[in-house]
Structure 1
């Protein structure tokens, strides 16, 4: 299959999964005291697998329970994706934890701390 087609399918699947997460899934593990987002979907060229990267802002136990919730809802999600995207063959979903947003928040914090220290040191030199 053409790489462009699998990229289009990946993009569309990410949009649909985000809608499903926001509107159709009522699992408390995905909504209580945790922020969940679908950061990326990678569909293989032969449409056999879809790696779904899930970002979770919450403690470690929440992260594990979110992946479990997605695994438990896999059949429901596949059915909804099938109805909305009308693919001839539905890829097998593999949910994976993505910590890129968490890493970005941490890097922003470090940058802000460094800027504050630099400004403080610059103020001390002027005195």
Structure 2
């Protein structure tokens, strides 16, 4: 059986190593703490205002990129905060570099987390708020 070149160099392949998921989770947690710490200390950027929460950090298997999902309250500040965070990427990468011992720091990208809004909408539909029964909708279209 032929060994892959990655195996020869001592690097585990991500599809063969069950602990790679644990490592990615640890790296994601460290990135989350570093960025949340920088946000709580303040960046001095007037665009970053309101309540900014990190909801999820996804790290690529090769640790080259990190997608950070955020929620912003009030919602009217979402686009402004996103632009402010994007312009402060370099500072966040330095914070991550100081918090970790990684050779390569993941490229950081921010995205608004829409899952919370979707979840709230589904729950409101399930609990009957602002929802008409399907039978009523059919009767309204028949007449």
TM-score class, shorter-chain normalisation, is 0.7 to 0.9
- 1:86 is paired with a residue of what secondary structure? coil
* Residue aligning to 1:122: none
Q: Which has the larger radius of gyration?
A: 2
* Residue aligning to 1:5: 23
* Residue aligning to 2:107: 92
- Mark the runs of 5 or more structure 2 residues left unpaired by the alignment: 1-13, 15-19, 131-143
Q: Which runs of 4+ in 1 moved over 2 A?
A: 99-114
Deviations 1:66-121 (A, max 9, x none): 1101110000110111011121111111111102334455566664958xxxxxxx
Larger helix fraction of residues: 1
- For normalisation by structure 1, the TM-score amounts to 0.74
| d(CA) in 2 for partners of 1:43, 1:69 | 21
| d(CA) in 2 for partners of 1:104, 1:35 | 19
8 Å contact 1:10–1:42 — kept in the other structure?
A: yes
- For normalisation by structure 2, the TM-score amounts to 0.67
| Match of residue 54, structure 1, among 59, 70, 89 | 70
Q: Please give the root-mean-square deviation of Cα atoms over the aligned residues, in Å.
A: 2.1
* Number of equivalences: 111
